[in-house]
Structure 1
Amino acid sequence: MIKVIKHLKQLPARWNNKELEAEINHFKQLVEKIKEVNLENEEDSKLVEMSKRLVSLAQRGISEDELLVQSFSLVKEAAKRKLGIEPFDVQILAGIAMHKGKLAQMQTGEGKTLAAVFPAYLNALTGKGVHIFTANDYLAKRDAGWMGPVFAFLGIRSGFINEGMSREDRKKAYAADITYVTAKEAGFDYLRDSLCYEDDELTQKGFGTAIVDEADFILIDEARIPLVIAENEPVKKSISDKISKIVDVLVLGADYNTDESFRNVYLTDNGTDKLEELLECGNLYSEENYELLLEINCALHARALLRRDVDYIVKDGKLKLVDGFTGRIADKRVWPDGLQAAIESKEGLSSFQEGRILSTITMQHFIKSYAKICGMTATAAASSAEFKEFYDLDVVVIPPNKPCKRIDHEDILFAGNSAKFHAIISEIKSVHASGRPILIGTASIEESQRLSDALREDGIYCNVLNAKNHEQEAEIIAQAGCIGAVTVSTNMAGRGTDIRLGGADEAERDKVVALGGLYVIGTNKHESRRIDSQLRGRSGRQGDPGSSRFFISLEDELIKKYGSKSLNAAAIYLKGQKGPIDDAFHKRLVEKAQRAAEGQNEDMRFLLWRYSNIIENQRKIFYNWRQAVLRGASEFVKWTFEALKEYNNAQKYVSIDVLMKIEKYIMLFHMDRLWAEYIYQTNYIREGIHLVNISGLNPLEEFVRSIQASFDELMLEVYEEAQNTFRSNDFSSGDIDLDKAGIKAPSSTWTYQITDNPFSDDLGMLLASNRNIGFTPGILLLWPIVLFGIIYTRIKKSNKANEMV
């Protein structure tokens, strides 16, 4: 059903292709008009006056479109004078596309940083604020410093935000016309602001324009990952350490099994009997054991499915998640539902304390709060349908300033990983002998280390870039284009890096060019073609020569997870073959497996969006209500308290100003407390709601019905709790101690992200998507069903109990 809906929604995009082409032609005409404006002979003071006039016109209501040619001409000239850079036509074209609310696809090395300055300046003229989202803190600081002189010259204030900055410094940066910041950090500030009790505590001034760099990564890959703010309040001590030790005695194949692709794990009857005996808990699937069963689920998942130096690393005594898309440490990200604690127990680390979640928002919904969204990346076209569906963003492919000369060789396919590994080593040795620089992109930290060890044993020195030494990234990348350089990397080298031929200073550029430029080798295909394209894009920047080739095997993770029966059969039949498989049929099946992976991941994003969108609509209502209370503009506050008989008595002792402050604080306190409880409840319902499909019910419809009723109750409960608190206070002293009365904001909070996927296994996806399934012994034996069934029933019982009170 999901695929049918998606197909129907893609039809208008096909019809609008001609309309988009006409727009692009119009953009190109605007580029010519901008180039006709000659400001070379004007004094600096004249340009400053022109900029002031544009600000005045914009703030008087003249549309940005009418000011586009003038403003872009000013930026073009300012860049020449302050940076010594003559912007390319394609950078101006990309700037126009972004100003028009498009997503500009620009090839590697085309100068996206400067391209963003054009729409940033134009949209900053109104004073509504422009946020430029960068890939990391380093780039936020670097780009703000690099492009800052252009903005300053034109009288526009710019700033940046990094993690760890004080509230005052953040307020100052957000108060600027243009702010460079990561989307994650801006989202965390949004959540912090959502807990403020006074208007002057807010750091962000508004949400005008968002310009998103690496847009496919932020708007798609990271889109569904919730941003969380939690209170530093220790949660109930976990029994993960004990469970982890018990699960360690279980034997694969006898006590538990995984599927062929290692995506699911489940207990056997023998394993269940063994655990019941070791734990002395009776029936493991009884209702009183549901928390114990959850702990076992997490411990088993941590042991069987998650691998050190692939899914996570241990660094400085801490567990660090590795982002599968970038290969970098996923800073401030944790696994949900006790899984984090289970892995820490597995590794013998101190337990992670989540604290009480106070508020949360997905990256996707946070970014959609901006009045205008646009962006840029090197790989957007492959996901154009998703950009249109989720953000109403059209993708505009910007032609390169110079034609791409990179040669992308045909993939080489092997039957097994051993044959592939030896072929890669042989290829590296052969190319390295000529002195040509090589970049090898691997699938994991584990693989990058194994490959580098093998190369060093053969006498080939190489630099290794992965999440374990990310601090040295700039230094390693600076040397990756030198004569004789061999760089082994995870996906870290596939995005946001600029490898210059001949080294950072390009001293030996001509020699490297003569050798054919940078040679990129991929050791695996990724689940997304965009990631493969990012890796290829490290070579052939700005018309440089270069080449790329991928070495793949029928034993690769991608093939195991998404390959057809024909591919799996071929892997068995051809096992042991050392040479390449020179067969077009099997290569097409590999391509089909990658498309299947993309399709499944897209289905998952679409499904999660449908569920999260419902909660987001409620969050917006609640957030707007809270903002009204915060700013003292809510009639609800007045109606809540003035109806009480205690209100008139309070007025005898407390001034109206003090009384209004007390009313506001009471309301905000209960709104925050009850919203936190509501988030906890809706998360539990969502995680188990797909099980209603077994009873023939539609999960999405049941989810909407359940949380809508709960949300209505929430609004009433805020009203009742606020009144009860007001009644319980004695105003005869002329004031009340709000802290003593328990009415205060959290004293200490922290922020993180949760790797969110409540339908993480195949069964969950099957049930949540409302496909018809039959009752089979296999399904009935899968214990996660029992677990989530218990949780769902427990939540429903809790709701009924509350209704009766």
Structure 2
Amino acid sequence: MLEPFFKNYLNQSTTKYDAQVRKINQFEKKLQSLSDDQLRQRVQDIKRHLQAGKSENEVIDETFAIVREATWRVLKIRHFDVQLIGGLVLNEGKIAEMKTGEGKTIVALLPTFLNALYGKGVHVVTVNEYLARRDAEEVGQVHRFLGLTVGLIQENMSVEERQENYNCDVVYVTNNELGFDYLRDNLAITKDEVVQRPLFYCVIDEVDSILIDEARTPLIISGSSQVTTQKYIQTATLANVLQKNVHYTVDEKNQIVKLLDEGTVFCEQALETTHLYDPPEPWASYILNSLKAKELFKRNTHYIVNDENEVIIVDEFTGRTMLGRRWSGGLHQAVEAKENLPIQDENQTIASITYQNLFLLYDKLSGMTGTAKTEELEFENIYKLKVVPIPTHREVRRKDFPDLIYKNQYLKWQAVANECVEMNRLGRPVLIGTTTIEKSELLAALLQEYGVNYRLLNARPENVESESEIVAQAGCQGAITISTNMAGRGTDIALGGNLKLVLNAKLKTVIQNLHLADINKELDEGEKDPLVCKFTPFFRSLNEQEIKKPEFLSNFIDYLTKGLKLENKILTEFHDLYIKVFDELNTEWQEKKVVVSQLGGLHVIGTERHESRRIDNQLRGRSGRQGDPGSSRFFLSLDDKLLRLFGGEQIMNMMKNIGLQDDTPIQSPILNQSLDSAQKKVEAYHFEGRKQLFEYDQALTMQRNGIYSERKRVLEKTSLRDWTIEYGERSLSDIFLTLQQRNKSELGDFYAFKMQELLGLPYQINENSKVETLNEIWKQQFQISYTLKEIQLEAIEPGIMRELERSFLLQQIDFCWKEHLQRIAALRDSIRWRAYAQRDPLTDYKKESYNIFVKMLARIRHQVIYLLLRSKIAIEF
């Protein structure tokens, strides 16, 4: 039951929207009598209204009503009133906190459609490609029905495909692809390579996962720096010899490794060096990375090793593998050396941006998630986003039982297995959340010993492929599902199972063989699954040439998800059969839902508290969706990381003092409060880290925006002559400012040297010339030199000067910016030591990074002019 104060809070936060919801409902009644074409005509009228600069408030109620009516006509889903409130909150540029199963995907249709009518493009950002593709195909039908275009960005798309999709009215894209496309656009050599439009409006699904969890690590595009890999191999061997607390210490809480004096001496002797921090031959960073790889980064927890002998990072929050992502600073190479794998070259940063600063580029930003209130302060401080809790459509009936804490891991896992066996005996579906791949497989092996059937969902590729089917069946009677994490899975666990997803997954698995003989053989040899056997005649009737066509599978899936009727007799027959079988089985499926509900619904088991309360809440939230019954309980042990780092000894003493047996768990509300307090401390620590990353990147952001704006103008301008002339004059002014700081006796020689260095021509200065007039004389001389060079080159190759200007500008901007990023990274690594001198590192960093930036801009100007005035065309005879 919702507490009265919580009800009051929800009422206060949504009362302002009640009148607007009533107006939308009134519009809905008027729209129901309109034809599809008349509905689309209303959309065009609203579009003209908005693009003419008229107020959005005049049309928002009608627009939301149109989307609700279109969603009913296309998907047979009608927005609840609370979903309308969620849409209004998103349209205001806020975060809508909606519980799992409340239909966030449908809610996003409302504000995205309204903002897409401005014609500037709207982005819906999701955490993985599966969700982006699913949403674009399924709910994107509503946008298409109303006359909008829908784009989808996927990993392996070409530049042309990306341009076409980004130019659509509504674009579904993952946060990674969005960020890397932004960086690649700002490395483009020609305007034709740019894929994105200016960033206008964005709705982020699982906003806490993207803006909080993934905000710790910046997006980086890098190139090989050709650093030798031998040092990683040497220090990996050395790390295995070094002893913890003898040669080094490990701060697991702060993820820091420190060498002790004895360890430093030992390493210097082993590596035959006099100083580990010697700049020409540094060893310290290699040793520390090898020790981190040994102590803090565990296989099947933080990473896996795939069949190609590559180290693949596992996202600790979503439990998914992060293909293409690498740890920076040599850490990834250290892990590769630890695992005796081929060591890839260390990378040098070419372009980077944090998620914080990427999403702040949008004119309007909003997001939705089931768990945002715990991070409300961070959302407001960094992103200026307010969190608005949206009431559930039906009252939450889930029971969250107090945690059980056991003395050790063995007792805990035994208790978890016993709980699974008991629930399985009752017939209740169970979802078990584990924190690592290793622990998920440990529990799987334990349940196998107990003779209990289960499904396993973790980051291993063979399990990820069947993800949608596993989640779809997790609510079936007696089902036991083990998962590394449930954040961002994108599929609700329906009690009794999800018939459509199960049916589609089974048929897709069969058809993907693309070999008719194999399908027939599989069915003939005893494939007894009724969902597949009902389609045996259909599969046997398929023409093998038809089935091997590249477009067959995509068309096949379109039939499953959209019910399209293309001009293909075989597929049309299949669609009719599919609908018939679905209707036959649906009644039986509904009966199963009633049975599971009567048994108590889905029971969620947590096997460890996460560092963030949000992740625990996401796991709990998988049960009790849309008013369904359910329950949850966490099983913990004193060996768990969170308890070990925050109060494990005190709890152990408590167990001894009250005289509990070793196999007796502690169950106490006070203990739960202590755990919540520990999680808050960890959250505060990580918040401070993200805040520091954001503050340091803010200084770089202003510089990045300046460089990228300059680059964009270079790409868009047809002629850069005036720009280049300005570069030359500013370069002369730089020399003039330096000249003013020198003694008058040195002016002649210094001027002659600098002018020859920049312009490539010998100059002489009249010693009687006034310093104040020199700068104007130099500018005239430069313009003459530049015009002569232009005439010389254009006489040989017309248009060559304009091409050289663009080429040298882009080349020098990119080269100097890459060098600048290296200098800034070195500054950021060293600046923290200023705190020991009672100075604010951040203030010093901002000042010094600005000075480095100004010098970089001058270097770009000088080098562009230097290269242009020395350009020659080789003529072959």
Q: TM-score range by the shorter chain?
A: 0.7 to 0.9
* SS of the residue 1:491 aligns to: coil
Residues 55-70 of structure 1: matches in 2 within 5 Å?
A: 55-70=47-62
Name the structure 2 match of 1:566.
Answer: 650
Q: How far apart, in 2, do the equivalents of 1:551 and 1:194 lie?
A: 49
User: How far apart are 1:582 and its partner, in Å?
Assistant: 4.0
State the Cα distance separating 1:548 from its structure 2 match. 0.5
1:580 aligns with 2:665: yes
Match of residue 639, structure 2, among 542, 555, 572: 555
Aligned match of 1:693 in 828, 832, 835?
Answer: 835
| Corresponding residue to 1:490 among 484, 490, 505 | 484
- Of 36, 42, 46, the residue aligned with 1:50 is 42
Q: What does residue 592 of structure 1 align with?
A: 677
- Structure 2: state its 5+ residue gaps: 1-7, 500-588, 730-778
User: Is the deviation greater in 114-123 or in 649-658?
Assistant: 649-658
Match for residue 722 of structure 1 among 855, 859, 864: 864
Instruction: State the match for 2:790 in structure 1.
Output: 651
Q: Determine the structure 2 residue equivalent to 1:359.
A: 351
Match of 1:802 in 2: none
**Which secondary structure does the structure 2 equivalent of 1:192 belong to?**
helix
Write the letter of the residue equivalent to 2:602: L
- 1:521 is the counterpart of 2:605: yes
Once residues 650 and 305 of structure 1 are traced to their aligned partners in structure 2, the CA distance between those partners, rounded to angstroms, is: 60
Q: Secondary structure at the match of 1:231?
A: strand
Structure 1 unpaired stretches of 5+: 1-17, 735-805
Which whole-Å CA distance do the structure 2 matches of 1:341 and 1:365 have between them?
28
CA distance in 1, matches of 2:332, 2:728: 44
Deviation, 1:561, is 2.6
- Measured against aligned partners, the alpha-carbon deviations of 1:550-577 in whole angstroms (never above 9, x if no partner) come to 1122221012233387347558978972
Aligned to 1:314: 305
Q: Give, in angstroms, the shift of residue 587 of structure 1.
A: 3.6
Within 2, Cα distance between the matches of 1:455 and 1:28?
50
The question of whether the paired residues in 1 share the 8 Å contact of 2:403 and 2:668 is answered with no
Amino acid at match of 1:650: K
Q: Tell me the SS of whatever aligns to 1:223.
A: helix
Is 1:24 matched up with 2:14? yes
Aligned letter for 1:646? S
How many aligned residue pairs are there?
716
User: Where do residues 231-630 of structure 1 align in structure 2 (5 Å cutoff)?
Assistant: 231=223, 234-259=226-251, 263-290=255-282, 292-316=283-307, 317-468=309-460, 469-492=463-486, 495-505=489-499, 506-507=589-590, 508-563=592-647, 566-567=650-651, 570=654, 577-630=662-715
Contact persistence 1:540–1:546 (CA under 8 A): yes
Deviations 1:102-150 (A, max 9, x none): 1111111111111111111100111011000012111111111112221
Q: Deviations over 1:369-412 (max 9, x none)?
A: 11000111111111111111111111111111111111111111
Which amino acid in the other structure matches residue 293 of structure 2? A
**CA 1:586–1:60 in 2, change beyond 3 Å: closer, same or farther?**
closer
Say which of 697, 700, 724 aligns to 1:637: 724
The question of 1:84 aligning with 2:76 is answered: yes
Is 1:684 aligned with 2:826? yes
Distance 1:624 1:500, change over 3 A: same
Between stretches 203-212 and 656-665, larger displacement belongs to 656-665
Q: Report the secondary structure of 2:47's partner residue.
A: helix
- Give CA deviations for 1:612-662 in whole Å, capped at 9, x if unaligned: 111112211222222222222876434125753431113314558542332
2:118 maps to what in 1? 126
User: Which whole-Å CA distance do the structure 2 matches of 1:598 and 1:175 have between them?
Assistant: 39
Q: Name the residue aligned to 2:812.
A: 670
Deviations 1:769-791 (A, max 9, x none): xxxxxxxxxxxxxxxxxxxxxxx
CA distance in 1, matches of 2:803, 2:218: 32
The structure-2 alpha-carbon separation of the partners of 1:256 and 1:233, relative to structure 1 and needing over 3 Å to count, comes to closer
In structure 2, what is the Cα distance between the partners aligned to 1:575 and 1:648?
92
Aligned residue in 1 for 2:845: 703
Of structures 1 and 2, the one with the larger relative CO (CA 8 A, separation 6+) is: 1
Matches within 5 A, 1:208-247: 208-231=200-223, 234-247=226-239
Larger mean CA deviation between 466-475 and 486-495 belongs to 486-495
What is the alpha-carbon distance in structure 2 between the residues aligned to residue 638 and residue 64 of structure 1?
46
Report 1:97-176 matches (<5 A): 97-176=89-168
Q: Take 2:695 and 2:654, find their aligned partners in 1: how far apart are those partners?
A: 38
8 Å contact from structure 1 (residues 653, 733) kept in 2: no
Cα distance, 1:493 vs. partner? 5.8
Aligned mates of 1:571, 1:620 — CA distance in 2: 57
Measured against aligned partners, the alpha-carbon deviations of 1:143-200 in whole angstroms (never above 9, x if no partner) come to 1111222112211111101001011000000011110001210111111110112223
Identity of aligned residues (%): 38
Higher CA-based Rg: 2
CA contact (8 A) 1:64 1:123 kept: no
Per-residue CA deviations over 1:643-693 (Å, capped at 9, x if unaligned) read 534311133145585423321221111011100111111112112211122
Distance 2:200 2:334 in 1: 42
| 1:410 and 1:550 in contact (8 A); partners too | yes
Change (3 A) 1:258 1:29: same
Residue in structure 2 matched with residue 767 of structure 1 by the alignment? none
**Which SS does the other structure have where 1:313 is aligned?**
strand
Q: CA deviation at 1:238?
A: 4.8
Query: For residues 267 and 233 of structure 1, do their structure 2 counterparts lie closer, same or farther at Cα, with a shift above 3 Å needed?
Result: closer
Structure 1 contact 653–732 (Cα < 8 Å) conserved: no
SS in 2 for 1:211: strand
Instruction: Tell me the equivalent position of 2:503.
Output: none
**Whole-angstrom distance in 1 between the partners of 2:220 and 2:399:** 44
Q: Which amino acid aligns with 1:640?
A: Y
CA distances 1:212-232 after superposition (whole Å, capped 9, x unpaired): 000111111112321112235
Matched to 1:649, the amino acid is L
Write out per-residue CA displacement over residues 476-522 of structure 1, whole angstroms, 9 at most, x where no aligned residue: 11121111111111114675331111112145211111111100000
Alignment partner of 2:215: what SS?
coil
Partners of 1:439 and 1:519 within 8 A in 2: yes
**C-alpha displacement of 1:242:** 2.3
- Partner Cα distance (2:10, 2:391) in 1: 15
CA 1:19–1:579: 2 relative to 1, 3 Å: closer
Paired residues of 1:618 and 1:711 also in contact (CA < 8 A)? yes
Given the two structures, how large is their TM-score scaled by the length of structure 2?
0.78
CA deviations on 1:71-118 (whole Å, 9 max, x unpaired) are 111111111111121121122111111111111111111111111111
CA distance in 2, matches of 1:331, 1:581: 41
Equivalent residues of 1:262, 1:305 under 8 A apart: no
Counterparts of 1:700 and 1:572 in 2: how far apart (Å)? Answer: 48
Separation in 1 of the partners of 2:637 and 2:359?
39
For residues 511-540 of structure 1, the C-alpha deviation after alignment (integer angstroms, 9 at most, x for no partner) is 111111100000111111111110001111
Do the aligned residues in 2 keep the contact of 1:120 with 1:178 (CA within 8 Å)? yes
Secondary structure of 1:375's counterpart equals strand
CA 1:575–1:354 in 2, change beyond 3 Å: closer, same or farther? farther
CA RMSD of aligned residues (A): 2.4
